[in-house]
Structure formats: structure tokens, C-alpha cells
């Protein structure tokens, strides 16, 4: 059995999913299912579930890669969180998703996994939009670029969107990822969010059909996520190589902002700094009094370089690195012990820190966000929740470069 299929062998999954819906899903890949009897999924419910369990527990070459991809997409949205996203997107599109009753009167057909499969088969537009939003909310590691100035609004007209999508399609084609590209556009206040679904490099695998070995080639679907804020002039991109992220930023600047080179300035990725902590020393404490929802901010990890002069060139460069951790928030105190001083001075440079922020939530239980800050361009954290609060915390404590203090006049030009 493939590790990719372990979650589907679970009786909880096979007993929850409607076998008739699974039959419809399997039919999408019937040419690659070999001797599997699809009619077994349309007969007696108990027999159908046994057939499903046997199929998922069998050799992995019997399960087409396309079917595996479909199953994982359904599983990703088949959660309480995914169900809320699907309902939100269906209401936005004016498509009703009424609760479905089960023949035996239980709520099995209202389980998120069942709903996700039904939406995947019957309402693909809703499913694609929900999958886009899930990808958007799952952002954690992003490449960020600062624009030349803030206040530039994106032109979201149809012609501009088509031009961007066509440019992105050519870009992926040049990367040997096929020409397919679908862009989902979502506005959120002053920000515009894009989810680009595109192909990947072709994979070829051998399958067995009627005791004959055959080769099948396919492209897996991948997502790239782009978010642009006119208020800050920053664009954030997740997915693809670093060069591809830079190219997507430039494409967005050219097609949507009509400003080529907007994100390619010399300081475009000089976004974060740890200088306020270095100046204050290892006694630095985050100020979060401005936000009553933030209960505490603990520095749980700190990494610093000890500097030394190169014997040949005289250049100052890192000679050694020290990493300290303390789940209670005393990572800087432990670093001071390593440095034998609470001050960084000329011999030490703080490379990165990790903080743990505890916040009040609407559901009673406090939330927690772990943030790693590594200048000049990285602040890594799960951005699906509390993003604005975390960025405000970093800005208020001087860890974000304020590149556009006087940008309003430039934006007016």
C-alpha cells in the first residue's frame, strides 16, 4: 500500500463517503483502473465499502496518480475548516449547498468529506474557488518584495487580468510545466489576492493493465499564491523557485500596475531588521500594550554570529554561530550567557529570532502563532490567521523597515 493512500484505508473514511459518489470519482479515471469493477461501488453499500477498503489496501500501481490527486484535493477540503470555506464560496456565487439527508436518518452525508466530494463532482466552480482560498490561507513561507512606493492600485479590468494570465501561462510553459494556467482573483480590502493553478514538470510512470506494462505521463497540478497590498506597496508570493517568484512579481507590476521594474529596486527585499534588538541588547522585550488581544510575546529562539576578520583580506565575516532556545521566552538571556555579555557590540550580530505570540480569540481558547524573523526578507509564520496583528506587532517594535513614510507624494505622480 502506498503511503499516499494510508488516510483513505481508514474505515472512518470508507464508511463516511457515499460509495455512489466514489464510483463517479473513479469513473473519471476508468481507463487506468485495470480490472477494478466499478459496478461494485453501485451495489450493496456494505459490499461497496469492502471493495473500497480492498482497493486502497492493494498495490499502489493499481491506483492511478490522477485519482490519488483527486482524493487528496477532496481530503484537503474535507474538514470543518474546508466546509466553512466551501459554504462561503457557494454563497458568494449564489449556489445553494443545502444539507443532505442520509437514508438511515444519521448525519453522515453532512460530514465535511462527503460534502467536499459532492461539491467536487457537482459544483466544480465552487470547489475550485474553495481550494484557492484554502491555498491562500495556508501561506507560511513567502517571498516578499517592496515596491518603489506605496499607494499604487492594481487595475483589475478584464483585459488586464487576461494579459496577466496569458503571461503567466507562457512563463510556466517555458519552465516545461505546460501552458495551462488558471488564476483565481480575490479582493480583500485594499489587497488583491491571486491563486495561480498551473501544471508541473511531466512525470512518467509504468502501470499494469491486463498483465501488460504501459507507460503513462501526467502533470500534477500546483498552486502559486500572490498577494498585493496597495497600502504598503508590497507583494507576497508563495510557490515556485526564487527566480520564478521574482518573475511573477515583475509580471504583476507590468500587467496589473503598468509599472515595469516596480519590485526590482535595490532595496526591494530589504524588508525586515533586527537592529532594534541589537541596540537594546539581550534585555529586549516586545511592546504589545497597543493591542489588548495579544497576551504575551516570548522570544523562544535566537541565533547570532560571532564576527571575525579574515586573515587574508581583512574582511569582517561570521566566524561561528550560536543558537539558543528557551520555550519560556528566555532565548536572548541564554544567548547573553554564550556571548558573555548582554550587549552585541562589534563582535556579535543577531541573525534571526523566533517568537511565540499568544492571542485572544473569539472562541475562548487563546491562539498561538510562531514567527521566525530572518532579515532582510523573511518573516515566516502561518498567515491564515492574525496576519495583520503579527505584522503590526513587528512594525510597532521597529522590526519592519518603514520604506514609504513619504510615499503619498510619489504615488500621486
Domain layout of the chain by residue ranges? 3-134, 143-256, 275-396
pLDDT for the residue numbered 1? 34
pLDDT for the residue numbered 12? 63
Dist CA 146 CA 154 (whole Å)? 15
pLDDT in tens, the chain (413 residues): 344 554 555 556 666 777 888 888 888 887 777 677 777 777 777 777 777 777 776 665 667 767 777 887 888 888 888 888 888 889 888 988 887 766 665 556 778 888 888 899 899 889 888 888 777 666 555 788 999 888 899 999 999 999 999 999 999 888 888 888 889 888 877 789 888 888 888 777 676 666 677 666 767 778 888 989 998 899 989 877 777 888 999 999 999 999 999 998 888 889 999 999 999 999 999 999 999 999 999 999 999 999 887 777 777 788 889 999 999 999 999 999 999 999 998 889 999 999 999 988 766 677 888 999 999 988 888 776 688 889 999 999 999 987 654 443 334 34
pLDDT for the residue numbered 59? 61
Over its C-alpha atoms, the chain yields an Rg (Å, rounded) of: 26
Dist CA 406 CA 294 (whole Å)? 30
Neighbours of 240 (CB within 10 A): 21
pLDDT for the residue numbered 412? 39
HEC profile of the chain: CCHHHHHHHCHHHHHHCCHHHHHHHHHCCHHHCCCCCHHHHCCCHHHHHHHHHHHHHCCHHHCCHHHHHHHHHHHHHCCHHHHHHHHHHHHHHCCCCCCCCCCCCCCHHHCHHHHHHHHHHHCHHHHHHHHHHHHHHCCCCCEEEECCCCCCCCCCCHHHHHHHHHHHHHHHHHCCCCCCEEEEEEEECCEEEEEEEEECCCEEEEEEECCEEEEEEECCEEEEEEEEECCCCEEEEECCCHHHHHHHHHHHHHHHCCCCCCCCCCCCCCCECCHHHHHHCCCCCCCCCCCCCEEEEEEEEEEEEEEEECCCCCCEEEEEEEEEECCCCEHHHHHHHHHCCCCCCCCEEEEEEEEEEEECCCCCCCEEEEEEEECCCEEECCCCCCHHHHHHHHHHCCCECCCCCCHHHHHCC
Dist CA 238 CA 236 (whole Å)? 7
pLDDT for the residue numbered 139? 55
First to last CA, the chain: 62
pLDDT for the residue numbered 64? 72
Amino acid at each position: 500500500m502506498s503511503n499516499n493512500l494510508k488516510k483513505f484505508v481508514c474505515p472512518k473514511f470508507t464508511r463516511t463517503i457515499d460509495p455512489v459518489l466514489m464510483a463517479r470519482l473513479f469513473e473519471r479515471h476508468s481507463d487506468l483502473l485495470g480490472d477494478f469493477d466499478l459496478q461494485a461501488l453501485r451495489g450493496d453499500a456494505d459490499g461497496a465499502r469492502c471493495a473500497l477498503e480492498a482497493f486502497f489496501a492493494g498495490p499502489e500501481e493499481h491506483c492511478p496518480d490522477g485519482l490519488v490527486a483527486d482524493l487528496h484535493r477532496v481530503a484537503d477540503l474535507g474538514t470543518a475548516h474546508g466546509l466553512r470555506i466551501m459554504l462561503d464560496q457557494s454563497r458568494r456565487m449564489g449556489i445553494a449547498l443545502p444539507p443532505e439527508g442520509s437514508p438511515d436518518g444519521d448525519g453522515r452525508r453532512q460530514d465535511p468529506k462527503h460534502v467536499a466530494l459532492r461539491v467536487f463532482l457537482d459544483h466544480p466552480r465552487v470547489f475550485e474557488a474553495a481550494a484557492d482560498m484554502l491555498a491562500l490561507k495556508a501561506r507560511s513561507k513567502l517571498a516578499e518584495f517592496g515596491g518603489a512606493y506605496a499607494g499604487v492600485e492594481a487595475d483589475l479590468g478584464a483585459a488586464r487580468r487576461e494579459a496577466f494570465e496569458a503571461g503567466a501561462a507562457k512563463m510556466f510553459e517555458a519552465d516545461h510545466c505546460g501552458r495551462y494556467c488558471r488564476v483565481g482573483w480575490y479582493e480583500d480590502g485594499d489587497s488583491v489576492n491571486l491563486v495561480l493553478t498551473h501544471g508541473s514538470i511531466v512525470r512518467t510512470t509504468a502501470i499494469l493493465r491486463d498483465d501488460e506494462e504501459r507507460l503513462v505521463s501526467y502533470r500534477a497540478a500546483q498552486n502559486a499564491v500572490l498577494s498585493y497590498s496597495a497600502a504598503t506597496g508590497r507583494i507576497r508570493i508563495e510557490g515556485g523557485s526564487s527566480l520564478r517568484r521574482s518573475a511573477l512579481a515583475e509580471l504583476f507590476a507590468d500587467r496589473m500596475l503598468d509599472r515595469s521594474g516596480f519590485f526590482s529596486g535595490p532595496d526591494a527585499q530589504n524588508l525586515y531588521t533586527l537592529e532594534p534588538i541589537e541596540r537594546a541588547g539581550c534585555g529586549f522585550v516586545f511592546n504589545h500594550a497597543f493591542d489588548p488581544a495579544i497576551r504575551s510575546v516570548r522570544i523562544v529562539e535566537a541565533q547570532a554570529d560571532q564576527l571575525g576578520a579574515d586573515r587574508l583580506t581583512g574582511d569582517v565575516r561570521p566566524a561561528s554561530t550560536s543558537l539558543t532556545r528557551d520555550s519560556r521566552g528566555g532565548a536572548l538571556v541564554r544567548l547573553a550567557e554564550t556571548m558573555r555579555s548582554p550587549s552585541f557590540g562589534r563582535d556579535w550580530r543577531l541573525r534571526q529570532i523566533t517568537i511565540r505570540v499568544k492571542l485572544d480569540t473569539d472562541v475562548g481558547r487563546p491562539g498561538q502563532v510562531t514567527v521566525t524573523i530572518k532579515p532582510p526578507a523573511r518573516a515566516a509564520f502561518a498567515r491564515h490567521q492574525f496576519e495583520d496583528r503579527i505584522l503590526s506587532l513587528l512594525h510597532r517594535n521597529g522590526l519592519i523597515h518603514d520604506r514609504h513614510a513619504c510615499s503619498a507624494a510619489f504615488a500621486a505622480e
